[in-house]
């Protein structure tokens, strides 16, 4: 039996959705996990750096357009930014069964020194990880 497909969606598929994809993959093997963007921009190097701090290898990560998943039976679409939530009409992914919205600040918009930007990326990474843990805990029966 195929695993349910979880798709994280953001605008650029450069930070938040990428982090969510890799964090959920690391938390459980119960799902087939992907991420995409409404306007892919390439994976932000700071995303790769803060994920590597957790031992996560993102060397093969790439930004993908949501159209790559148009014909996939997506069980849960999770948008991680308000802009992607607004710009992804229901018809864009007609096979989505459930849709959730988890809003996180855009770490790519962080200003300041490299260390200040990294601090923002780390904060968002931790927030996404906590939200995934909560979602997995709530999704498990008999908890």
Q: Choosing from 5, 78, 80, 88, which is the catalytic residue?
A: 88
What is the enclosing helix (H) or strand (E) of 46?
Answer: helix 45-52
Q: Choosing from 5, 10, 80, 110, which is the catalytic residue?
A: 10
E-strand ranges in the chain read 5-10, 32-37, 74-79, 98-101
SS3 105: coil
88 is catalytic: yes
10 is catalytic: yes
d(CA 98, CA 109): 29
6: nearest Cα among 26, 30, 33? 33
Q: Choosing from 9, 33, 81, 124, which is the catalytic residue?
A: 81
16: nearest Cα among 96, 98, 132? 132
22 is catalytic: no
Backbone angles phi, psi at 69, to 5 degrees: -110, 10
Q: Enumerate the active-site residues.
A: 10, 81, 88
């Amino acid at each position: 039996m195929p695993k349910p497909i979880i798709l994280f969606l953001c605008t650029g598929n450069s930070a938040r959705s990428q982090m969510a994809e890799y964090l959920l993959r690391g938390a459980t093997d119960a799902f087939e996990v992907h991420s995409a963007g409404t306007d892919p921009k390439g994976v932000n190097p700071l995303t790769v750096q803060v994920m590597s701090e957790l031992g996560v290898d993102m060397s093969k990560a790439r930004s993908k357009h949501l159209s790559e998943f148009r014909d996939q039976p997506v069980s849960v679409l999770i948008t991680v930014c308000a802009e992607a939530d607004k710009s992804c009409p229901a018809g864009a992914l007609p096979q989505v069964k459930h849709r959730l919205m988890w809003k996180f600040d855009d770490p790519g918009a962080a200003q300041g020194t490299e260390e200040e930007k990294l601090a923002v990326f780390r904060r968002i990474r931790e927030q996404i990880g906590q939200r995934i843990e909560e979602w997995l805990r709530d999704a498990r029966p008999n908890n």
